[in-house]
Amino acid sequence: MTPYPFSAVVGLDDLRLALLLTAVSPAVGGVLVRGEKGTAKSTIVRALATLLPEVDVVRGCRFACDPAAPDPACPDGPHEAGAPHGHRPATLVELPVGATEDRVVGTLDIQRALADGVKAYEPGLLAAAHRGALYVDEVNLLPDHLVDLLLDAAAMGRAHVERDGVSVKHAARFLLVGTMNPEEGEPRPQLVDRFGLVVTVAAPRDAVQRAEVVRRRLAYERDADVFAARFADEERELAARILIARRAVPAVVLPDAELDRIARICLAYGVDGMRADIVVARCAVALAAWHGRGTVTGGDVRDAARLALPHRRRKDPLDPPGTDEDRLEEALSQAGADDPDDDPNPSDGGPSDGGPTDGGPSDGSGDGPDKSDGRGSGSQAPRSGPGSSPPGSGAGDSGSGFDDATRADNSGAEGQLTDQPADADDKRPGGANASGGQQAQAGSVYRPKTLRIAARGEGGHAGRRSPAFARRGRVVGSRIPQGRLRGAAHLPATLRAAIHRGGADGVQARDLREAVHVGREANLVLFVVDASGSMAARKRMTVVKTAVLSLLRDAYQRRDRIGMITFRGRSAEQVLPPTSSHEVGVMRLASLRTGGRTPLAAGLSAAATTIATERRRDPRRRPLLIVVTDGRATSGPDPVTLAPALAGVATVVVDCESGPIRLGLARRLAAALHADVMPLDALSATPTTPLGRAA
C-alpha cells in the first residue's frame, strides 16, 4: 500500500523538524517520540523513509557496503575497488517488541560451528538497517538485553556477535527512531540518552484541526494512490531539500561564540557528561544547513537546545512533569539564548511553516481543502516549542499536589493534617466521607529495604528484584537444549557429554548443552494501602505516603510493574491498574485521601482479583503484594477469610500501628496470609529482606 505522505500529516511541526534534521545529519543521533496513543507517531516515522536519499551499495553484499568506502571487515568482503554496485532506497527496518536477540544481531549456527568448524552467519535487523533507519515502536517495552544491544551498536556503529570464541563483526550505522507512550512506563535512561532529540506530541485540542485529521485519513483510506499524488510535489521538494542540506552540512561554520553559548546552556541545565554539548552543536549545524545558512546563529542554538536537552538533565526519576522544561527555559535565559530576535529564519518543519503543533491519529490523517502546505484549515493552536509541555499534560499545575507530595518534608506535611476519630463516618462537608476526604502530603523519600521473592522464577521479565533463571547472569548448571540453542553453549558439559557417549569422531550436535543462568527479574508490585480514618490519626498517613513513595521509586529502579489499591469507607478502589508508568503511580498517591471505616477484606479481595487477572494476561510475571495497614477491620467480613484467595502470593504486611498500646492485628493478618511482617518505622534500612515464606 502507498505510504502516507510525510507532508500530509497535520501539524506536528516540532516532530517533523526533528525527523528532517536527523535525515539531514544522521550524526545528530536519532529521535525519540513521546506521546499519548493516537498521535500519528508511527505514521510520520514510516512516512519519513520515503524522503531519505538513495544509497549506493556493493552488489551482492548483505551488509550494504558503500562502494566508495567499503567496510574492510565486512563478512561478505573484502570488496575490491570498482566492484559492481547499484542504487537502492534507504531502508526502514522495524524492530518488533517481541524480537529475539538472534533476530536483532543475526544468527550464528553453533551446531555447524562445532561439527564442521565453519562460520554460518545470517545477518539480523542491525545489518539490514545499516545506512538506513531503524524504527523501534514502543521502545520503552523492549527487554533490557535488546536495549543493551541497541546501545552498543548505536555507540560503536558496529554489531558484534560472539559466542564461545566464534565472532562476527559488521558495520551498523543507522538513524535510530523510537516511539513510546509514557503511560506505559519510561525506558532506561541509558537508552534515552542515546537518542539525539526527544519530542513530545499530543493530539490537537482544536475541533477544526481534529476534523481535518479525520478528513484526510478517510480520503487516504478511500484511495491511497490518489491521495498521495496530491502531495507528490511537496514530497519531492522535501526530498530535494534534505539532499541539498545534507551536502551543505560539512561547510557550515559553528562560531566560537555560539559554541561557548552551547557550553553555558549545558552547564546551566546540569546535564551529565559531554554528549549533550555535542548533540546540540550537531543539531544547530543541521538547522543552519536546513535553512540554507552557512553559519550557525543564536536562534539555531536555542532551537537545537529545546530539542536535544530536555531528556538529559540528571533528575529524580519521580520528578513532577514539566520540571525539565522549566529548568531548560531558565538555562536558556542565563546563557542569553532566549531572545528570538537574533534568529533571521525561525525554525520550521519543512515547507509547511506555521502549521499547528499537534497532529492526528497514529494511523495518519484525512482529506481536506487542497492546501499545498499540508496544514488543516481554520483556526490554529498556538505553537508550543519543543521544550514545552503538551496540552493537558498538567505540567506546572500546582493544584495536583504532585510537586508537594514529592518534595515537602515530614514536619511541614504533618502540619496540614487534623486529627479525627479513627474509623469515624464523618458526615460533615469536607469530612472523611465527603468527596476526597483528608489529603496528606508525603515527606522526603528514602532508600527502603529491598523486598524480594525468595523462590526462583522463570525469568519472564528481566529486571533487578527477585532471583530467576535468565538469559544472562551467574552460570549454575547446564541442560539439553529443547530444539534450537537459546543461549550460550556450556562447553564443559558439552565435552563431558561427548566423552560419556564414547564417540571418537569429536563433538556432535547431539552433545550440545546450553548454560543455565540465574539473574534477576522484574515483578508486579501491587500496593494495597489502608486509607481509612485510623490512618489519618496521629498524622500517620504522612509517614505511610512517604514509605509508599519510597517503595515506588525502588520499583522504578528495578523495572517492576506497579499497581495500587486503596480501601476506606465500605469498599476498595483500584486507583492504579497495573502499569509500568511510575509517574502515574506517584500522582495517584499524591491525591490519595483518608477517612471512614476500614474494609480491609474488600482491599484483599480486590488484590486477589487483580493478581488473577494479571496472571491470565502474563503468567510469567510473579506478583509481590505489599499490604500497608494497621490491621484494623471495622467494615465487612474478617480479612483472614480472604487468605485462601491469596495463597501462594509473595506478601509482606507493613504494620502501621503506632502508639503505646498496640493490638498486633497486622501480625495476625500476616500469619493468616503466610506473609512477612515489617513495622513501618523499620522499612528504611540497607539490608535486603527476602520473602522466605512466599511460594
Residue positions annotated with a catalytic role: 275
**CA nearest neighbour of 9 among 387, 384, 367, 388:** 367
Using the structure block, give the residue that is written with the C-alpha cell 496530491: 230
Terminal-residue alpha carbon distance, the chain = 52
Q: Give the up-direction half-sphere exposure of residue 335: CA atoms within 13 A in the CB hemisphere.
A: 26
DSSP state, residue 377: S
| Angle (nearest 5°) at CA 125 between 150 and 135 | 65
8 Å CB contact between 169 and 159: yes
Give CA torsion, residues 692, 453, 673, 532, to 10 deg: 130
Alpha-carbon distance values, 515 to 205, 469, 483, 491 (Å): 54, 11, 14, 8
Using the structure block, give the residue that is written with the C-alpha cell 558439552: 494
8 Å CB contact between 201 and 390: yes
The C-alpha cell that represents 103 in the structure block: 533476530
CA gap 181, 173 in Å, rounded: 26
8 Å CB contact between 519 and 470: yes
Alpha-carbon distance values, 399 to 198, 389, 402, 410, 444 (Å): 27, 16, 8, 20, 20
**DSSP-assigned beta bridge partners for residue 515:** 478
Side chain identity at residue 447, one-letter code: R
| Angle (nearest 5°) at CA 133 between 129 and 139 | 100
**DSSP-assigned beta bridge partners for residue 668:** none
The C-alpha cell that represents 121 in the structure block: 552467519
Side chain identity at residue 692, one-letter code: G
* Peptide bond preceding 84 in cis form (omega within 30 of 0): no
